[in-house]
C-alpha cells in the first residue's frame, strides 16, 4: 500500500527509514517541481538541511529530482537553519525554499518544509495544491543522477547561506553595544543548525551543545524547560550568567533563561519584544498571535494603541498576515516569533539578539525588564504539559471538548470557552487552561496560565485528572 504523505502544521514529518525515505522525499519533491512549472516560467529552488541523520542525502535527492524537471537548483553549503533557507529564498529570488528538518521533533524524525519567495512559510492553500499531486511513485530517475556532475556543469550551484545570514545579523544589530555592555551571555544550540552563528557574532558568549550530533544526545531539540536542565544547572551552579538563549533543531524557536536559572516562556518573550520595539525603538504595527498565546498580549497592545489579531496555531497563518499587512510582531506559544525589519519567519537567534540588545541598551537586567512588562499587564506564570496517551483516549477527550462536556476542572469552574484552534477554558481574567492535539507529534497538549507557578501546576494536574481519569 502506498503511503499517503500529509503536511501538518509545519511541513511533512516522519520517522527516518520508516516513512521518511529517499523515495518519499523524491515523491514530495517531484510534486513540488510539477507545481512550480505549472505556475512559473523559469522557477528556481534553494535547498538545505539541518543537522539530522542523512540530511545531505535527502538534499541531494531533492536536487536530483528538480534538476531533471528543468528547474534551477541552489543548495546550501553545509547544514543550515530554517531562517537561513527562508532568507536565502528571499535574497536570491527563488520561488521555493526547501529545508529538510524536523525542527524540534525527536532525533528519529526528519521533515520537509516549504518556504516562499517572500522569506516565510509557503501559504497553506499552495501546500495543499502540492500535497494533492504527490505521485504514488517518483517518476524521475534520481538514483542514477550525479549531483557531483551537476555541480561541475553549473546545473546546481552552492550558496553560502550561513555567511549571508551572519552578514544580515551584523548589519541589523548593534553587536558592539552588546559586547561593550559587560553582559555575561550564554547560548545552548541544542546540537542544532544555529550552532555556528553566535560564536561568530558574539565570540565572548559561553556556549553549550554547539557541535554536530544527529542524535541530539537522545533528546528532542525543543527549547522548553524540561529539555534544558543542563543549561539551567550551569546557570545555577556558576552564577555568572545574566541571560541564556537556546534554540531548537532548526533554530527557528527560542528558549530563554534569566540569571537565576529560571525559564522565561514565549509569552513573556513576546511581551518583552513588543515593549522594546514600541517604547524604546518607536516602532508600530499590528500584532498577530496564535490562539495559545496569553491574552495579556491584548492588554499590552491596548496600552500602546496597537491593533491585534489571533490566528490558528501554526506560523504559516501568521506569516500570511505579515506578508499582506504592516505587522510589528507575529508569535506563537511554541517559541516561534517574527518581527518587523526581518523576514516573516520564526527566528530564535534573531529574537535572542533583540533581547540582548534590549538589555545592553537599557542597562537593565532581564528581571527589571520583565517588571516593566508586569506594570502594564500584571504578573503571571505559564506552563505546558504534553500528554502521551493512546489515540483512542485522545479522540475521546477531543469529543468531550466538542460536546462541551467539561464544566469544571477540579475546583476550577469554566466561565467561558473559546474554540479558534483547540479548546481554551477561561476560569476568570487571570486563569485559563487549553486542550489541543499537537499538529506535529502524537501527543495531546494542555496549556495553563495563572498568577503563580504553583497554581498553574494545580490547574494542569486538575485538567489531566478530569480528562484522563
Q: Is residue 212 within 8 Å of 79, Cβ to Cβ?
A: yes
The pLDDT score that the predictor gives to residue 166 is 98
Tell if the pTM clears 0.85, that is, is over it.
yes
The pLDDT score that the predictor gives to residue 50 is 98
CA atoms of 278 and 280, how far apart (whole Å): 6
Establish whether domains 173-377 and 381-468 are of one fold: no
DSSP 411: T
Domain 12-162 listed as CATH 3.40.120.10: yes
Structural class in CATH, domain 381-468: alpha beta
Q: Is residue 221 within 8 Å of 227, Cβ to Cβ?
A: yes
The pLDDT score that the predictor gives to residue 428 is 93
CA angle 202, 203, 207 (to 5 degrees): 100
Q: Is residue 12 within 8 Å of 6, Cβ to Cβ?
A: yes
What pLDDT digit, counting tens, does each position of 238-270 carry? 999 999 999 999 999 999 999 999 999 999 999
CA atoms of 135 and 401, how far apart (whole Å): 37
For the beta sheet containing 337-339, the strands, ordered from the edge strand earlier in sequence to the opposite edge, are: 308-311, 286-290, 327-331, 337-339
The pLDDT score that the predictor gives to residue 11 is 93
Helix H or strand E segment including 303: helix 296-304
| Domain boundaries, given as residue ranges, for the chain | 12-162, 173-377, 381-468
Q: Is residue 27 within 8 Å of 112, Cβ to Cβ?
A: no
For the chain, what is the total number of helices (H) and then of strands (E)? 16, 22
Q: What is the grid cell recorded at 263?
A: 525559564
The pLDDT score that the predictor gives to residue 438 is 83
- Tens digit of pLDDT per residue, the chain (469 long)? 788 999 988 899 999 999 999 999 999 999 999 999 999 999 999 999 999 999 999 999 999 999 999 999 999 999 999 999 999 999 999 999 999 999 999 999 999 999 999 999 999 999 999 999 999 999 999 999 999 999 999 999 999 999 999 999 999 999 999 999 999 999 999 999 999 999 999 999 999 999 999 999 999 999 999 999 999 999 999 999 999 999 999 999 999 999 999 999 999 999 999 999 999 999 999 999 999 999 999 999 999 999 999 999 889 999 999 999 999 999 999 999 999 999 999 999 999 999 999 999 999 999 999 999 999 999 999 999 999 999 899 999 999 999 999 999 999 999 999 999 999 999 998 999 999 998 767 789 999 999 999 999 999 999 999 999 8
* CB contact burial 12-44 (16+ within 10 A = b; e otherwise): bbbebeeebbbebbbbbbbbbbbbbeeeeeebb
- Domain formed by 173-377, architecture: 3-Layer(aba) Sandwich (3.40)
Amino acid at each position: 500500500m502506498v503511503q499517503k504523505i500529509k503536511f501538518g502544521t509545519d511541513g511533512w514529518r516522519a520517522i527516518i527509514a520508516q516513512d521518511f525515505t529517499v523515495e518519499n522525499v523524491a515523491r514530495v519533491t517531484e510534486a513540488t517541481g510539477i507545481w512550480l512549472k505549472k505556475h512559473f516560467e523559469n522557477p528556481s529552488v534553494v535547498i538545505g538541511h539541518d543537522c539530522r541523520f542523512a540530511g545531505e542525502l535527502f538534499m541531494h535527492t531533492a536536487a536530483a529530482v528538480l534538476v531533471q524537471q528543468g528547474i534551477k537548483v541552489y543548495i546550501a553549503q553545509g547544514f543550515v537553519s530554517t531562517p537561513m533557507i527562508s532568507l536565502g529564498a528571499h535574497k536570491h529570488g527563488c520561488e521555493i525554499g526547501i529545508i529538510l528538518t524536523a525542527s524540534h521533533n525527536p532525533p528519529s524524525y526528519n521533515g520537509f518544509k516549504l518556504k516562499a519567495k517572500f522569506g516565510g512559510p509557503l501559504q497553506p492553500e499552495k501546500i495543499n495544491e502540492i500535497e494533492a499531486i504527490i505521485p504514488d511513485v517518483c517518476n524521475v530517475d534520481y538514483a542514477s543522477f550525479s549531483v557531483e556532475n551537476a555541480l561541475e556543469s553549473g546545473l546546481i550551484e552552492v550558496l553560502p547561506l550561513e555567511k549571508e545570514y551572519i552578514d544580515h545579523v551584523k548589519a541589523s544589530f548593534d553587536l558592539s553595544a552588546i559586547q561593550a555592555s559587560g553582559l555575561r551571555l550564554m547560548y545552548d544550540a541544542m546540537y542544532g543548525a544555529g550552532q555556528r552563528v553566535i560564536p561568530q557574532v558574539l565570540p565572548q558568549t559561553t556556549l553549550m551543545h554547539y557541535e554536530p550530533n544527529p542524535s541530539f544526545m537522545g533528546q528532542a531539540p525543543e527549547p522548553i524547560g524540561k529539555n534544558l536542565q543542563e543549561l539551567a544547572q550551569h546557570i545555577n551552579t556558576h552564577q555568572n550568567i545574566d541571560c541564556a538563549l537556546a534554540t531548537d533543531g532548526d533554530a527557528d524557536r527560542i528558549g530563554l533563561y534569566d540569571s537565576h536559572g529560571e525559564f522565561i516562556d514565549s509569552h513573556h518573550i513576546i511581551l518583552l519584544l513588543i515593549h522594546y520595539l514600541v517604547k524604546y525603538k518607536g516602532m508600530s504595527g499590528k500584532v498577530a498571535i496564535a490562539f495559545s498565546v496569553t491574552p495579556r498580549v491584548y492588554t499590552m497592545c491596548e496600552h500602546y494603541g496597537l491593533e491585534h489579531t489571533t490566528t490558528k496555531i501554526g506560523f504559516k497563518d501568521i506569516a500570511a498576515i505579515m506578508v499582506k499587512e504592516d505587522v510589528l510582531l507575529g508569535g506563537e506559544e511554541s517559541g516561534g516569533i517574527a518581527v518587523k525589519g526581518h523576514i516573516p519567519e520564526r527566528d530564535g537567534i534573531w529574537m535572542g539578539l533583540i533581547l540582548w540588545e534590549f538589555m545592553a541598551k537599557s542597562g537593565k537586567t532581564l528581571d527589571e525588564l520583565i517588571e516593566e512588562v508586569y506594570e502594564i499587564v500584571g504578573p503571571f506564570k505559564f506552563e505546558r504539559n504534553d500528554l502521551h496517551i493512546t489515540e483512542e483516549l485522545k479522540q475521546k477527550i477531543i469529543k468531550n471538548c466538542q460536546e462541551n462536556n467539561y464544566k469544571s476542572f477540579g475546583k476550577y469552574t469554566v466561565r467561558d470557552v473559546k474554540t479558534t484552534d483547540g479548546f481554551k477554558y477561561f476560569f476568570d481574567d487571570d486563569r485559563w487552561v487549553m486542550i489541543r492535539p499537537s499538529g506535529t507529534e502524537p501527543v495531546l497538549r494542555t496549556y495553563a496560565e495563572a498568577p503563580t507557578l504553583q497554581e498553574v501546576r494545580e490547574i494542569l494536574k486538575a485538567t489531566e485528572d478530569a480528562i484522563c481519569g
